[in-house]
Amino acid sequence: MAGVSIATVCHYRQRWNIPSYRSTLAAGTNTADADATAPLSMGVLTGQQGFSVTIQTAQGRKQHITIADDIVSAARRASSVAKGKIVEIVHLGPAIGK
């Protein structure tokens, strides 16, 4: 699987307004209490989600759209279809229906 840089994680947190662990400690809040009261818009994925997984193969880049519970499951499903290196995973949003 592809590695994730610290800068990518920071950018993701900023984009979705997810506070860092250090900022919650500095604010003196208990992280367990903060997690219990956090709205779902704070980056927590629940239920089936849509993901776009791009894999670099010998023939070029292949994009696979998959539905999974989390990013790891999406990567595994796409990897089972096309062999190669995962170069990008994009969260598309919650899946509709059951």
Helix (H, G, I), strand (E, B) or coil at 67: strand
Mean residue pLDDT of the chain comes to 77
Which of 94, 85, 58 is closest to 75 using CA atoms? 85
Cβ proximity of 14 and 34 under 8 Å:
no
pLDDT of residue 1: 43
pLDDT in tens, 21-68: 776 666 665 544 444 444 444 455 567 899 999 999 889 999 999 999
The DSSP letter of residue 95 is P
Length of the chain in residues, anyone?
98
How many C-beta atoms surround the C-beta of residue 47 within 10 A? Answer: 8
Gap between the Cα atoms of 66 and 45, Å rounded: 15
User: Which of residues 32 and 18 earns the better pLDDT score?
Assistant: 18
Identify whether the C-beta of residue 50 lies closer than 8 Å to the C-beta of residue 92. yes
pLDDT score, position 42: 47
- Which range, 11-20, 35-44, 71-80, is most confident? 71-80
Mean pLDDT of 66-77: 90
